Chains A and B, each alone.
Chain A
Amino acid sequence: MDLDAGRCELMWSRLATALDDTERAVGWLWDAASVGDRFENVGRVSSGQALEIGLVGPTARACGLVRDVRYDHPAGWHRFGQVPVVVWPGGDVFARARVRSLEIQRSGQYLREQLMSAPEGETHARVPMAGSERLAIALVEGWRGEVCHVALTDANGRYAAYKIVDPSFHNWSGLALAMRGAAISDFPICNKSFNLSYCGFDL
């Protein structure tokens, strides 16, 4: 479906309202002393651990890693419209919340820029039949991080296998590390700050 000028304008103004509301709510969150007290130095994952277990997405970026598929392997539109990569050091609940709040700002800004200059042209393209006995890999930066698609075709060019690796597949181990030596009362806040998919682990 195409996005005409009227829809672009409508989305632009709705986005402005939503971002404004979010900004206010997030400001309110950072203002609370209890939030700082609860978020700082809780559920820490070091950048070394993050590298070792291959964390992805906002969780990795909150450990100071510059890791974003759109930045590391820009393809399609991302070669022209670059998304800023938000990184924060620390690896604790605070850092993960900080990365998320900054990503809301930057993504909002990015979306609004894109809506102002939406490209013209066809929205659909015909895809030719897949070749026989091929292996194809695609990476997507999802909202939890890297999503990896792998497809294998058979002799007739039909799918022989298709596997998706969800970001949570990598990040569940991060939650386990964040909880090491911590009290069980820290589990809920760590769990929420990783925000993992419960069915992504065994997709």
Chain B
Amino acid sequence: MFVVDTITRRLKRGCETMAYPRGAGPALPDRYVGALEVDVTRCVEPCMQCIPVCPTEAITRPRPGAVELDMGRCTFCAACVETCPERAIRMTAEHRQAVRQRSDLVVGGAAGERLRLAEVLGEELRTLLGRSLKLRQVSAGGCNACEADTNVLGTVGWDVGRFGIQFVASPRHADGLLITGPVTKGMELALRKTWEAVPEPRIVIAVGACAISGGPFVGHREVNQGADTVVPVDLYVPGCPPHPLTILDGMLRLLGRAGVT
């Protein structure tokens, strides 16, 4: 009988939601690159070898100082890591990467900057949201990679619903937007209208290199250079695409729930 079968199958499968963030997150693959860091003591002037190998021109060399790596542009191909003779640019396998300010994604440089992970939303907004965060997803010219890694958060394994986070079918029902893609010229007006349709105060999350800076399309005339050229952004989640764990960690940081139950 279908009903009995359904119940038996559900019982057999048990709880399939991961323990994270109370317990361990899913195991990351051994080839996972993670956040990149620049060891400023090893990066010697006037070496420029890493700069031309970067496909998105994410690396620059200010003078004086070590190279600056913009993780908002980075596609995590790790070509710079392989090229650097001094091994000054390193992979860390660190999944925590989301930040609140665009400039917080630039690492290295004269000051030896590291990622400044996102801080929680202001008290007023947090109180207003309570234990619920409804987001409208806008794919503004994305390739579906960031969309897929965001979508998976709604499945049983991740179940973002347990944090009160839900993707809704209309901006009118939402507290904010989650934007993917570089914001193509064709999607610019749609994005602007969607943003305007979200009741204030609203938050905006930009997921992936495209939505942060244009990524591989940086400088192209048919796209905008990321979401914050069209609407203000509150959370930047770097990656190409980011691991779902990186996106979830970013959202939980925003809500002040990272690492707590």
Instruction: Report A-chain residues with C-beta under 8 Å of the C-beta of B140.
Output: 199
B26 interface contact, C-beta 8 A: no
A202 touches B186 (CB 8 A): yes
B141 touches A203 (CB 8 A): yes
A199 touches B2 (CB 8 A): no
A-B contact number at CB 8 A: 26
Which residues 1-15 in B have Cβ within 8 Å of A in the complex? Answer: 2, 5-6, 9
Instruction: Report B-chain residues with C-beta under 8 Å of the C-beta of A24.
Output: 9
Q: Mark A150-184, 1 if CB is under 8 A from B, else 0.
A: 00000000000000000000000000000000000
A198 interface contact, C-beta 8 A: yes
Could you tell me how many residues of chain B have their Cβ less than 8 Å away from some Cβ of chain A? 14
A28 touches B6 (CB 8 A): yes
- Which of B5, B6, B187 sits near A199, CB closer than 8 Å? B187
In the bound complex, what is the Cα–Cα distance between A197 and B139 (angstroms)?
9
A129 interface contact, C-beta 8 A: no
Could you tell me how many residues of chain A have their Cβ less than 8 Å away from some Cβ of chain B? 11
What distance in Å separates the Cβ of A110 from its nearest Cβ neighbour in chain B?
21
A138 interface contact, C-beta 8 A: no
In the bound complex, what is the Cα–Cα distance between A43 and B66 (angstroms)?
60
Does more than half of chain A's interface fall in helix, strand or loop, or is it mixed?
Answer: loop
In the bound complex, what is the Cα–Cα distance between A197 and B142 (angstroms)?
10
- Which of B9, B31, B142, B187 sits near A28, CB closer than 8 Å? B9
A1 touches B31 (CB 8 A): yes
Instruction: Report B-chain residues with C-beta under 8 Å of the C-beta of A1.
Output: 31
What distance in Å separates the Cβ of A197 from its nearest Cβ neighbour in chain B?
7
Q: Mark A187-203, 1 if CB is under 8 A from B, else 0.
A: 00000000001110011
In the bound complex, what is the Cα–Cα distance between A33 and B144 (angstroms)?
33
B residues in contact (CB < 8 Å) with A: 2, 5-6, 9, 31, 139-142, 144, 181, 184, 186-187
Given A197-B139, A198-B139, A199-B140, 13 further pairs, Cβ under 8 A: A1-B31, A24-B9, A28-B5, A28-B6, A28-B9, A31-B2, A33-B2, A199-B141, A199-B186, A199-B187, A202-B186, A202-B187, A203-B184
